[in-house]
Structure 1
Amino acid sequence: MEDPENVQFDTVDFSPKVTEFKDLTDFLIRYCVATLGLPQTMFFDESASNRATMIGKIQLAISTVINPLREQFGRQICDQWYQRWFELLYKDTLRF
């Protein structure tokens, strides 16, 4: 046990610095968004920024749905041979 005469007391500030922490968090989020080009919806809820929500949803739809379909249809069309044969067979005809 400690001797009560040797015990030392220090004051500790238990009041959190909420506003400073919030400002720092907002700054870091804006820095990440500006640096990485991420939509703000990755960090905020939908009520915070409607335009960013819309842009994020559009980018997500383009990258996950539309681009794979474009690539798939592009491969299918490129693999089709009948258009090339059609052009070779009827190249002397003025109108197809």
Structure 2
Amino acid sequence: MTKKMGYRWNLRKIMAERDMFATTDLVPLLAERGVHLSREQVFRLVTQPPQRLSMDTLAALCDILDVGVADLIEITVVSKQVRKAVGETGKAPAPTVRRSTIRRPEGL
């Protein structure tokens, strides 16, 4: 059985709920907590789910927004558990091969 996990990054939504719409508003608030990120880094942090995130940044965001980690990062199941039938190998079927014919336009 396989189960693939994912997550939903809720920073932008939580900021909007607190009437924080400019990503640059976070720059000085993070700096007050010892996290120094450029405007571009904060923009990416707000607009894209991060692949890596320091614990200092995560703790600072939780403090700034007065939320817990589970509010910022919502764990989801991307694909459900699938049981393989007896005899299944788990391999995808081979693609169908189609031959093509290249025809030149007349007069060339």
Q: TM-score, normalised by structure 2?
A: 0.21
- Larger % of helix: which? 1
Q: Report the structure number with the largest CA radius of gyration.
A: 1
Greater RCO between the two (CA within 8 Å, min separation 6)?
Answer: 2
TM-score calculated relative to the size of structure 1:
0.22
Larger relative strand fraction? 2
